[in-house]
Amino acid sequence: MFELKYGCNPHQKPATIYCENQAMPLKILNGNPGYINFMDALNAWQLVKELRQSINLPAAASFKHVSPAGAALGLPLTESLKKAYHIDPNAKLSPIACAYARARGADRVASYGDFAAFSDEVDESAALLLKNEVSDGIIAPSYTPEALEILKSKRKGSYNIIQIDPSYEPVPQEKKQIFGITFEQRRNDDIPSVKDLTNIVTKNKDLPDSAKRDMILALITLKYTQSNSVCYVYDGQVIGNGAGQQARIHCTRLAGVKADFWLLRQHPAVLSLQFKEGLGKADKDNAIDTFLRDHITEQENEYWETMFEKVPERLTYEEKRMWLSQFTDVVLGSDAFFPFRDNIDRASRSGVKYVVQPGGSIRDDLVIEACNEYGMVMVFTGKRLFHH
């Protein structure tokens, strides 16, 4: 049992976490993780563990408030991505370090103060990357001695470092309480994989392995995202995750805006922004976020202009659309069926070519028709992934 400082809020005391019938699979190597830290850590660990199992590549996730701000696989970074993520172009990144750089890079504004999860041992390369980011903590199966010393130096020695036993499996039935009433169910232990991607319902049935990989990444990310949720994935990483909305179209729009911003962060005009010397990464990310928004107030503009050595000329709507039009292989995933075609119409604006969802709506035929109009490939998995 671990006694915690407090629960979700400081006035919620006492607070503990424990296993009822098993030994705790966790070790706190540094710091004093809190209630929400552990919620983030345990959800994030399940996500990266399942990605590793299903896709067989190193994986990382960046969690905030019990949903992933980003998740990614350990694929090499392009030079433009390194620049967009504020990474030294000469940095030698291991696969697991690349996975975290991509996960954090999905939404760098949302990932500020995240809880990081790694599927594989954290090495010096990954630790040095994380050392320079604002983060609340990390969970991983192991750490090299060099990585552990680097991480222990974060936050004046108080950085939260959790080690989890990778062989740990929870009991099949899970419980939670709401208002003193206990809920019990079999935990969702189904891991999305290529076997779920056989039912292609559109005229276009060309589904390359890269799209299958990205579909699995989307589905496993959605499995650990507060519902309703919709996820955009491109080239082995989440680029937009829309969580916890009551209407699915709002998830699609929210995640679509994030995906557009991720794609636009690699625009030459963004990569060439000249920030004032000494400006921190978080301020740069916020400035870029403001730079890419279509409308800002006069007060926002006045503050935004103070970030730069030379105030840049903002991109026009037409320039943004022209840049976005070159990205055509984006995957869109949904944790439940799309009830209307408006989701497909919105997704088409962000380069979506592949769609994966459970299916089962009374309007499935209209959604399929919309995908056919855009030449998209859509897969029905038959499995809903609600997470609450």
pLDDT, tens only, 94-152: 999 999 999 999 999 999 999 999 999 999 999 999 999 999 999 999 999 999 999 99
Instruction: Indicate which residue of 64, 267, 353, 387 is catalytic.
Output: 64
What is the pLDDT at residue 325?
94
What is the pLDDT at residue 363?
95
| Residue 21: pLDDT band with limits 50, 70, 90 | confident
CA end-to-end distance (rounded Å), the chain: 24
The verdict on whether 11 is a catalytic residue reads no
Instruction: Indicate which residue of 228, 241, 258, 320 is catalytic.
Output: 228
Instruction: Find the angle CA(331)-CA(352)-CA(94) to the nearest 5 degrees.
Output: 40
What is the pLDDT at residue 380?
98
What is the pLDDT at residue 32?
94
Is pLDDT above 90 for 22? no
Residue 309 in contact with residue 333, Cβ under 8 Å?
Answer: no
Instruction: Indicate which residue of 65, 83, 131, 383 is catalytic.
Output: 65
Q: What value does the CA radius of gyration of the chain take, rounded to a whole number of Å? A: 21
| Residue 188: pLDDT band with limits 50, 70, 90 | very high
Percent of the chain with pLDDT over 90: 94
What is the pLDDT at residue 1?
86
Whole-number Å distance between alpha carbons of 12 and 8: 7
Chain segment 295-340, per-residue pLDDT in tens: 889 998 888 889 998 889 999 999 999 999 999 999 999 999 999 9
The verdict on whether 320 is a catalytic residue reads no
Instruction: Indicate which residue of 11, 156, 310, 388 is catalytic.
Output: 388
What is the pLDDT at residue 273?
93
What is the pLDDT at residue 159?
97
The verdict on whether 388 is a catalytic residue reads yes
How confident is the prediction for the chain on average, in pLDDT?
A: 95
What is the pLDDT at residue 20?
87
What is the pLDDT at residue 185?
96
Chain segment 233-269, per-residue pLDDT in tens: 999 999 999 999 999 999 999 999 999 999 999 999 9
* Average pLDDT for 360-388: 97
| Residue 372: pLDDT band with limits 50, 70, 90 | very high
Is pLDDT above 90 for 294? no
Chain segment 191-223, per-residue pLDDT in tens: 999 999 999 999 999 999 999 999 999 999 999
* Average pLDDT for 9-21: 93
All structural domains of the chain, each given as residue ranges with its CATH number in brackets, are 2-164 (3.40.140.20), 188-264+327-380 (3.40.140.20), 268-314 (1.10.287)
The verdict on whether 21 is a catalytic residue reads no
* Average pLDDT for 43-53: 98
What is the pLDDT at residue 123?
98
Three-state secondary structure string covering the chain: CEEECCCCCCCCCCEEECCCCCCCCEEEEECCCCHHHHHHHHHHHHHHHHHHHHHCCCEEEEEECCEEEEEEECCCCCHHHHHHCCCCCCCCCCHHHHHHHHHHHCCCCCCCCEEEEECCCECHHHHHHHHCCCEEEEEECCECHHHHHHHHCHHHHCCEEEEECCCCCCCCEEEEEECCEEEEEECCCCCCCHHHCCCECCCCCCCCHHHHHHHHHHHHHHHCCCCCEEEEEECCEEEEEEECCCCHHHHHHHHHHHHHHHHHCCCHHHHCCCECCCCCHHHHHHHHHHHHCCCCCHHHHHHHHCCECCCCCCCCHHHHHHHHCCCCCEEEEECCCCCCCHHHHHHHCCCEEEEEECCCCCCHHHHHHHHHHHCCEEEECCCCCCCC
